[in-house]
Amino acid sequence: MTSLLILNGPNLNLLGQRQPEVYGATTLADIERLCEAKAKALGLAIEFAQSNDEAVMIDLIHKARGRHDGIILNAGAYTHTSIALMDAISSVALPVIELHLSNIHAREDFRHTSYIAKVALGVICGFGASGYPMAIEALNEALK
Protein backbone atom coordinates (compact mmCIF):
# COMPACT_ATOMS: atom_id res chain seq x y z
CA MET A 1 0.00 0.00 0.00
CA THR A 2 1.30 3.45 -0.89
CA SER A 3 2.25 5.41 2.21
CA LEU A 4 2.61 9.18 2.62
CA LEU A 5 4.11 11.27 5.39
CA ILE A 6 2.34 14.56 6.05
CA LEU A 7 4.83 16.71 7.91
CA ASN A 8 3.89 20.06 9.42
CA GLY A 9 6.39 22.55 10.73
CA PRO A 10 6.59 25.37 13.24
CA ASN A 11 3.48 26.97 14.70
CA LEU A 12 1.08 24.73 12.79
CA ASN A 13 0.14 23.12 16.10
CA LEU A 14 -1.60 26.46 16.82
CA LEU A 15 -3.88 26.39 13.79
CA GLY A 16 -7.36 27.58 14.62
CA GLN A 17 -5.95 29.98 17.23
CA ARG A 18 -3.03 31.62 15.45
CA GLN A 19 -3.83 34.50 13.06
CA PRO A 20 -7.22 33.18 11.92
CA GLU A 21 -7.43 36.04 9.42
CA VAL A 22 -4.48 34.44 7.59
CA TYR A 23 -4.76 30.74 8.42
CA GLY A 24 -8.48 30.30 9.14
CA ALA A 25 -10.27 28.59 12.00
CA THR A 26 -9.43 25.02 10.98
CA THR A 27 -7.26 23.15 13.48
CA LEU A 28 -4.48 20.71 12.69
CA ALA A 29 -6.73 17.92 14.00
CA ASP A 30 -9.42 19.03 11.50
CA ILE A 31 -6.84 18.87 8.70
CA GLU A 32 -5.79 15.39 9.78
CA ARG A 33 -9.42 14.23 9.55
CA LEU A 34 -9.68 15.70 6.03
CA CYS A 35 -6.49 13.90 5.05
CA GLU A 36 -7.59 10.59 6.56
CA ALA A 37 -10.84 10.71 4.57
CA LYS A 38 -8.99 11.48 1.33
CA ALA A 39 -6.38 8.80 1.94
CA LYS A 40 -9.05 6.21 2.72
CA ALA A 41 -10.90 7.07 -0.49
CA LEU A 42 -7.68 6.59 -2.47
CA GLY A 43 -6.53 3.47 -0.60
CA LEU A 44 -3.44 5.16 0.85
CA ALA A 45 -1.75 4.89 4.23
CA ILE A 46 -0.79 8.19 5.83
CA GLU A 47 1.21 9.24 8.84
CA PHE A 48 1.15 12.70 10.41
CA ALA A 49 3.88 14.55 12.22
CA GLN A 50 4.32 18.11 13.44
CA SER A 51 7.36 19.72 14.96
CA ASN A 52 8.49 23.21 15.83
CA ASP A 53 12.08 21.95 15.72
CA GLU A 54 14.00 21.97 12.44
CA ALA A 55 16.28 19.11 13.52
CA VAL A 56 13.31 16.91 14.37
CA MET A 57 11.80 17.66 10.96
CA ILE A 58 15.07 16.66 9.28
CA ASP A 59 15.12 13.41 11.24
CA LEU A 60 11.51 12.67 10.22
CA ILE A 61 12.38 13.27 6.56
CA HIS A 62 15.36 10.91 6.87
CA LYS A 63 13.22 8.24 8.56
CA ALA A 64 10.65 8.48 5.76
CA ARG A 65 13.07 6.80 3.36
CA GLY A 66 12.15 3.16 3.02
CA ARG A 67 9.00 3.70 5.07
CA HIS A 68 6.94 6.12 2.95
CA ASP A 69 6.59 6.63 -0.78
CA GLY A 70 6.32 10.42 -0.63
CA ILE A 71 6.04 13.44 1.64
CA ILE A 72 3.66 16.37 1.87
CA LEU A 73 5.52 19.12 3.67
CA ASN A 74 4.21 22.32 5.17
CA ALA A 75 7.50 23.61 6.51
CA GLY A 76 5.98 26.90 7.70
CA ALA A 77 8.58 29.64 8.05
CA TYR A 78 11.40 27.12 7.56
CA THR A 79 10.38 27.13 3.89
CA HIS A 80 12.08 30.49 3.52
CA THR A 81 15.17 29.84 5.63
CA SER A 82 16.15 26.19 5.77
CA ILE A 83 18.79 24.94 3.40
CA ALA A 84 19.06 21.99 5.80
CA LEU A 85 15.48 20.89 5.05
CA MET A 86 16.15 21.30 1.34
CA ASP A 87 19.25 19.11 1.67
CA ALA A 88 17.34 16.49 3.69
CA ILE A 89 14.72 16.25 0.95
CA SER A 90 17.41 15.88 -1.69
CA SER A 91 19.12 13.20 0.39
CA VAL A 92 16.12 10.89 0.73
CA ALA A 93 15.15 11.00 -2.96
CA LEU A 94 11.41 10.86 -2.23
CA PRO A 95 8.87 12.99 -4.08
CA VAL A 96 7.78 15.94 -1.97
CA ILE A 97 4.93 18.37 -2.39
CA GLU A 98 5.40 21.71 -0.68
CA LEU A 99 2.18 22.97 0.87
CA HIS A 100 1.03 26.24 2.45
CA LEU A 101 -2.37 27.28 3.75
CA SER A 102 -1.91 30.89 2.66
CA ASN A 103 -0.74 32.22 -0.68
CA ILE A 104 2.88 32.91 0.22
CA HIS A 105 3.33 34.89 -3.01
CA ALA A 106 0.70 37.42 -1.94
CA ARG A 107 2.36 38.02 1.42
CA GLU A 108 5.57 39.65 2.62
CA ASP A 109 8.52 39.64 0.22
CA PHE A 110 10.61 37.32 2.39
CA ARG A 111 7.93 34.63 1.97
CA HIS A 112 8.40 34.64 -1.82
CA THR A 113 11.62 32.62 -1.52
CA SER A 114 11.28 28.88 -0.98
CA TYR A 115 14.22 26.57 -0.52
CA ILE A 116 11.79 23.64 -0.46
CA ALA A 117 10.36 24.44 -3.91
CA LYS A 118 13.82 23.95 -5.42
CA VAL A 119 13.61 20.21 -4.63
CA ALA A 120 9.85 19.66 -4.56
CA LEU A 121 7.71 17.96 -7.15
CA GLY A 122 5.30 20.90 -6.90
CA VAL A 123 3.84 23.57 -4.66
CA ILE A 124 0.25 24.04 -3.49
CA CYS A 125 -0.53 27.28 -1.68
CA GLY A 126 -3.40 29.58 -0.91
CA PHE A 127 -6.26 27.08 -0.68
CA GLY A 128 -6.38 26.78 3.10
CA ALA A 129 -7.06 23.36 4.59
CA SER A 130 -8.41 22.05 1.26
CA GLY A 131 -4.84 22.18 -0.06
CA TYR A 132 -4.00 19.06 1.94
CA PRO A 133 -6.42 16.72 0.13
CA MET A 134 -5.28 18.33 -3.15
CA ALA A 135 -1.69 17.48 -2.27
CA ILE A 136 -2.61 13.89 -1.37
CA GLU A 137 -4.33 13.45 -4.71
CA ALA A 138 -1.48 15.08 -6.65
CA LEU A 139 1.18 12.98 -4.93
CA ASN A 140 -0.85 9.81 -5.43
CA GLU A 141 -1.07 10.56 -9.17
CA ALA A 142 2.64 11.27 -9.36
CA LEU A 143 3.44 7.94 -7.71
CA LYS A 144 1.47 5.88 -10.23
pTM of the model: 0.92
Instruction: Give the pLDDT score at 60.
Output: 98
Asked if residue 23 has pLDDT above 70, the reply is: no
Which range has the worst mean pLDDT, 18-22, 35-39, 50-54, 137-141? 18-22
Catalytic entry in 23, 78, 115, 132? 23
Instruction: Give the pLDDT score at 15.
Output: 85
Asked if residue 25 has pLDDT above 90, the reply is: no
Q: At what angle do helices 131-143 and 28-42 cross, to 10 degrees?
A: 30
| Mean pLDDT score, 133-138 | 98
Active site residue 23: yes
CATH superfamily of the 3-143 domain:
Dehydroquinase, class II (3.40.50.9100)
98 residue type, one letter: E
Residue 76, phi then psi, degrees to nearest 5: 55, -140
Active site residue 78: no
Instruction: Give the pLDDT score at 129.
Output: 95
Split at pLDDT 50, 70, 90, the class of 22 is low
Instruction: Give the pLDDT score at 5.
Output: 98
Instruction: Give the pLDDT score at 61.
Output: 98
* pLDDT tens track for 80-127: 999 999 999 999 999 999 999 988 876 778 677 899 999 999 999 999
Name the strand (E) or helix (H) holding 42: helix 28-42
Catalytic entry in 68, 100, 115, 132? 100
Do 61 and 55 contact (CB within 8 A), yes or no? no
